[in-house]
A and B are shown apart, each in its own frame.
Chain A
């Protein structure tokens, strides 16, 4: 590569972490964090034990949570939790989150300050791409890659090629990050970013909270992307300040450091796309693929049985606030089962202190503990055959929330409004496109 050529963030991160280049286009990189949950890690643990390699590369860099099915719902899920719990104890992994302190991995770990700009992160979970919101390279991996991550703190990847998406214009009122990412996936297609990093930039992203950026990056994988990435800025500095204040003299110097994880002006991209969101409407999926997306307006009056607000996409405090704003003083339709799962204990606590839980309860919602639960159809709101759910989650695959069930992906505002109406509908927050 010539010395004039700039680099993307992902390339900079790779170049700073490379430990080996065993053959052309195979780059082994050092990992700053390995995240683990109870669905994919136990089989990796058992295999390491079988190989006589029951070791961990660095207990301080491994973060562990039981989040998918918690409390355990049957003997099999109880055993998955037990294998993870016993393993975390015997290796003295300090950051292990069990029931009472657990929350959805991709919401909990950022909240704990475990992701920083420039980091490399893997997890045996496809939505690991969420953590790129902090200017990190974060990728979901298979079990063997997870095993090697746990054992040696390295992972092999192809050199990252990036699609940059410039999001411009002015976000209309009542339109949210979820609507933006649904629209982008619709444009890219479910294979449109396969093997690519998706870099989200532009004034709309600059103005977004960390929560909204996580919503964007969370769904990068639904277009096939390896990691989402946003440029770390003052919003990132503020979000992480309570964890980083001892590392920097002041916020300005933290910002200076974070800015080294921006792509260079001359960086090479696979593609650069621009989306002007000024006329974007709230969006919803139809069908069983996340790129099957249309405006809520065109789906209005679609009958639903359940509304689910939660998940690593939209279960954060910002999402609960929007949903509660729509629900305030209202009751949900008699025909609707409403379920809200705050994504983390902190989101739960804030929702309680701010009176949001009361709004949900008064409206007729069931509030569950923080967990993935219904998102993957394992507990807490599984659909029956033929039932339809409007959900703030990220996957509408056939049977995702229960065999024979149908999922429409929406923003928290649309979900709340649809719970009141009993059918899919735009929220009052959306005033229509100008």
Chain B
């Protein structure tokens, strides 16, 4: 199973699309690793610099409809090779969400009020998120601050995560 804890990269915008996550011109690459330097290269977000801000982050917190656009699985792969295995948002584009769990990663939805309160409380600070898959909670900590946030995922998605993705799950089960 992958690691779902780590430092949070705050992306305070809705509708971040797959072209922003990984531009189309890199689709001729034949290895996932080759995508590593280009994650979020074209993201339009004031104050965000991919060269400076991605390194050392393992979790993305964002708003609504993350991963919309094309069906390219290069989007979760670009996250994966950068060590980012968990994206938290209000909701996700259907195929992106499926691709994440297919890859043994998680795309977790939280109510917009909670997302909003986390942004207000933690954004701009070095924030660590610990995922407890048994208790279904995230624990966020920053300088002098801490918060526990419950979440839920379906049983099928949980088994995909536990297996490390659809390939491992299917190979074992079918």
Contact = CB atoms under 8 A, between A and B. Distances in A.
Contacts of B170: 28, 148, 151-152, 154
A46 B31 contact: yes
A46 B173 contact: no
Interface string B131-161: 0000000000000000000000011100100
Given A22-B156, A23-B155, A46-B30, A151 B171 contact: yes
Interface bin, chain B:
20 to 34
Contact of A144 (B29, B73, B173): B73
Of the listed residues B31, B95, B174, the one surrounded by the most CB atoms of chain A closer than 10 A to its CB is B174
Interface centre among B154, B166, B170 (most CB of A within 10 A): B170
Contacts of B32: 43, 47
A43 B167 contact: no
Interface in B112-128: none
Interface residues of A, number: 32
Given A20-B174, A154-B174, A144 B31 contact: no
A42 interface: yes
Nearest to B172: A152
B174 A80 contact: no
Given A22-B159, A26-B156, A145-B166, A80 B30 contact: yes
A142 interface: yes
B154 A23 contact: yes
B120 to A, nearest CB: 34
A87 to B, nearest CB: 12
Given A23-B154, A28-B174, A142-B71, A148 B167 contact: yes
Contacts of B156: 22-23, 26
B102 interface: yes
A319 interface: no
A250 to B, nearest CB: 38
B88 interface: no
B16 to A, nearest CB: 19
Given A23-B154, A144-B103, A79 B30 contact: yes
Nearest to A378: B28
B99 interface: yes
A148 B29 CA distance: 21
- Nearest 3 pairs between A and B by C-beta? A23-B156, A144-B102, A143-B73
22 contacts: A22-B155, A43-B31, A43-B32, A47-B32, A47-B167, A51-B168, A53-B171, A76-B28, A79-B30, A80-B30, A83-B30, A126-B71, A142-B95, A142-B99, A144-B99, A148-B166, A148-B167, A153-B174, A154-B170, A154-B174, A156-B166, A195-B94
Given A80-B28, A148-B166, 15 more contacts: A20-B174, A28-B170, A43-B29, A43-B32, A48-B167, A51-B167, A53-B171, A142-B72, A144-B99, A144-B102, A144-B166, A144-B167, A145-B102, A147-B167, A152-B171
